[in-house]
Chain A
Amino acid sequence: ETGVTQSPTHLIKTRGQQVTLRCSSQSGHNTVSWYQQALGQGPQFIFQYYREEENGRGNFPPRFSGLQFPNYSSELNVNALELDDSALYLCASSLGTIAGGVTDTQYFGPGTRLTVL
């Protein structure tokens, strides 16, 4: 196990609702990255937080937002849910620098399965 935890494990929402997913990073890690994995696809990068600041964003609309807290845990918020938001949401923690440390490996949590009806 990596020491990265995510909650909840599963979630069912209806279209238009809002959702918050949570991630606790591995002890000693200061960077959290969020990925969306649709069924049958590889994970797609949503954004990354380094020491409480957003540090890179993928091709996702602004209704996907996040936070990182002083203890380096993180939240992913999605507003105005759409059917296509149904996916496995993965959080990964790592020990990074602002420039991206070359040895920084991302360790993943078990994911949150979101279903939008």
Chain B
Amino acid sequence: AQSVAQPEDQVNVAEGNPLTVKCTYSVSGNPYLFWYVQYPNRGLQFLLKYITGDNLVKGSYGFEAEFNKSQTSFHLKKPSALVSDSALYFCAVRAITGGGNKLTFGTGTQLKVEL
């Protein structure tokens, strides 16, 4: 079975400071990892993904994520947070089941960026 853990329900950071949203995963075989963001009353918006290759993945809106195989982690980072980054962030791992694929999501981390 595949699973994702997001250990922090909420992360608070001051605008202009770096931010990190943590994610660890469990999966058989090679992981395909994703980050999505959800704004209030909206669907999920794709930020970035790791398939293979460089452990540092760059995505939308200045976000990046670092894949660490030995620690089974895929933490989301941004060098300088903006108030507009405040939203709910989901980490997901992709599994291949029965010839298809599904995303298994974590429970989400609420990011609050304050002035």
Chain A residues with a Cβ under 8 A of chain B: 2, 4, 6, 33, 35, 40-45, 48, 50, 55-58, 90, 92, 96, 98-100, 102-111, 113
Contact = CB atoms under 8 A, between A and B. Distances in A.
A104 B101 contact: yes
A110 B104 CA distance: 19
Contact of B46 (A35, A43, A100, A107): A107
A105 B46 contact: yes
Given A103-B51, A105-B49, A109-B43, A43 B90 contact: yes
Query: Which of A33, A35, A56, A113 has the most C-beta atoms of chain B within 10 angstroms of its own C-beta?
Result: A56
Interface of B: 4, 32, 34, 36, 41-46, 49, 51-52, 90, 92, 94, 96-108
Nearest to B100: A56
A110 B99 CA distance: 27
A100 B43 contact: no
A106 B103 contact: yes
A108 B36 contact: yes
Contacts of B94: 100
12 contacts: A2-B45, A2-B46, A4-B43, A35-B103, A43-B103, A43-B105, A56-B100, A92-B103, A98-B99, A100-B96, A106-B46, A108-B44
A43 B100 contact: no
Given A42-B90, A43-B44, A107-B46, A102 B32 contact: yes
B11 to A, nearest CB: 16
Contact of B96 (A58, A99, A106, A107): A99
A2 to B, nearest CB: 8
A56 B101 CA distance: 7
B100 A48 contact: yes
Contacts of B46: 2, 105-108
A102 B43 CA distance: 23
